[in-house]
């Protein structure tokens, strides 16, 4: 029979296309591709590059053969290349979601002031929660209201804050953006400060309770 060949005692269509598969078979193969792609990432700590394609496809073909699905390797390879970007996007979203579920928020007890100062000669740098920023235009300071120095030229009091618990890796993306989006959608303005370890977020005191409520309802764990 033309375009057919006996393989392992079965008459198989040698020119079978990926599009000829049933929808459930396509969905199952896509899931196998994702599972193997994800396992590769977990093993190496980086997204698989083209050098990993052959290994990934070999493992996917093992699943396909065990399920007794007949499709030529070349068709599977072609489809994998066409969906590889989608696999990465899916994994990225899943990793971001996993990360968000682990994020814990710790409210701070202090009331803060956002200030401008002439210089930092009167700033107590040993004070907890003292954030300074020097630019070509200003010397800024965020500190507890009780620690505002006398050489302050402008100040805005009545801020409350919280921080993300734990040391965040620089490779983590979108943590502050997601929290900001949740608060912005509830009309809560923020003042954000990033340090080497983590992020601090301030809101006006009258919005602080609401901010904690909406973050909690969005799945963030509030400590304290």
Are 61 and 33 spatial neighbours (Cβ–Cβ below 8 Å)?
Answer: no
Mark whether 16 and 92 lie in a shared domain. yes
pTM here? 0.59
The alpha carbons of the chain give a radius of gyration, in whole angstroms, of: 27
Structure tokens at 152: 């302050």
> Among 79, 98, 117, where does a domain finish?
98
Mark whether 178 and 217 lie in a shared domain. yes
CB atoms closer than 10 angstroms to residue 37: 23
Tell me which residue has tokens 């599977």: 76
Are 129 and 108 spatial neighbours (Cβ–Cβ below 8 Å)?
Answer: yes
Q: pLDDT tens-digit profile of 113-129? A: 999 999 999 999 988 99
Q: pLDDT tens-digit profile of 2-36? A: 555 555 655 445 558 899 899 999 999 999 999 99
CATH number of the domain enclosing 198: 3.30.2130.10
Are 126 and 99 spatial neighbours (Cβ–Cβ below 8 Å)?
Answer: no
Count of domains for the chain: 2
Structure tokens at 72: 């030529």
């Amino acid at each position: 029979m033309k375009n057919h060949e006996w393989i392992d005692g079965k008459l198989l269509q040698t020119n079978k296309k990926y599009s000829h598969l049933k929808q459930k078979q396509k969905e199952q193969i896509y899931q196998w591709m994702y599972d193997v792609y994800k396992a590769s990432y977990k093993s190496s700590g980086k997204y698989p590059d083209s050098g990993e394609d052959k290994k990934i496809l070999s493992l996917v073909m093992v699943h396909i053969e065990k399920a007794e699905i007949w499709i030529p390797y070349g068709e599977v390879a072609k489809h994998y290349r066409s969906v590889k970007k989608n696999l990465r996007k899916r994994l990225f979203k899943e990793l971001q979601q996993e990360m968000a579920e682990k994020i814990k928020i710790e409210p701070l007890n202090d009331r803060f002031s956002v200030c401008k100062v002439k210089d930092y000669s009167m700033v107590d740098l040993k004070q907890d929660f003292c954030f300074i920023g020097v630019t070509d235009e200003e010397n800024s300071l965020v500190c507890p209201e009780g620690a505002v120095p006398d050489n302050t030229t402008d100040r805005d009091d009545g801020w409350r804050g919280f921080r993300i618990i734990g040391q965040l890796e620089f490779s983590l993306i979108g943590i502050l953006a997601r929290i900001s989006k949740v608060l912005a959608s509830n009309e809560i303005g923020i003042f954000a400060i990033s340090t080497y370890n983590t992020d601090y977020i301030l809101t006006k005191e009258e919005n602080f309770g609401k901010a904690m409520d909406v973050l909690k309802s969005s799945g963030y764990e509030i400590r304290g």
